Structure 1
Amino acid sequence: MPTENRDDSLLARLASRGGQREAAFLAPHHLAAADRLERLIQRAQLVPRVTMSYDPTRVGGRSGAGNDVLSATEASAAARRKLSALADNLPPDCWGVLFDVCGLGKGLQLVETERRWPRRSAKLVLRIGLEQLAAHLGLSPHATGAGSGATRNWLEARLPLIADEPL
């Protein structure tokens, strides 16, 4: 489920402003990067299932189906290759926190407890990781490029509202 659709999401809370003068901890490009990573992890089928599925296409056993590269579809195998490339390009601690938060839905306090980090350190590592991921994906806080977000129109000139000649 994409991050922006969840009201109780950790990332959504970090992106909201605490007060009128306070800036949000995460910028929109951070949320976009987290959303792309979350969708990529879902496509890679790396998140464990919590409930039993009686769908014959998902039940393993006959063909040796499991959670390995041989049984994965080509789309999930390509997503796993992309995730592997991302993991190679990001710092290991940042990648671990990004995967735990965006992929597995863990909270920051749980991440800090599991890694024996000081309080509020996972929040900073998460922001650093999202900044690195956004830069790797080509996302920036400001529009860049030839037009830098300039509005363009397909009409060369506006059409007149009232025609000169009566019909």
Structure 2
Amino acid sequence: NFRHQQFIESMRSGEYLGADWPYNCLGGTFWKDRRYNVNYNPIPADMSTFPGILFLPRLNVWSVEWYEQEKQRIRWFRANYGFKRAQQHAEDFRRALVAAGRVDNRRTEREIRLQSLASSEARSLFKKKYAKKDSRRLGNSGSKLGPQRKARRDYQKRGLLP
């Protein structure tokens, strides 16, 4: 992706003054202009120091990846409205995830309790939905089946149907 490489090169030096290669063919005037225009960055502009943050040049997005409750989750930050701005948002989001303990399942006691309450509530609803409503329709020995419509109306009155 030539345009992207050109852009990354311009990020390094402040302005794009042409390719640096081959070194032996470039004149002294080029290096004189270039030398005072370059600021040193230890890593390229399209990489992040944070783990799990990648730049995808073909999609022009910064992606943040993390694992939460044994599931891989990914969130994208579009770079259409600013390359560095999107990178900053992605890094801030990752910082917030780590601070909240959502990365690597580091949850607080309160979050664990809330999740267990929610799952028990879902389990009880499931039990109610599939519980045996009445012995009339089961055909137990000694019980009459009776009309289905009447039994269904009775279930609705008692709030046993979902």
Which one has a bigger Cα radius of gyration?
2
Identify the structure with the greater strand proportion. 2
User: Is the TM value for this pair above 0.5?
Assistant: no
TM-score normalised to the size of structure 2?
A: 0.24
Higher relative contact order, structure no. (Cα contacts within 8 Å, ≥ 6 residues apart)? 1
TM-score normalised to the size of structure 1?
A: 0.24
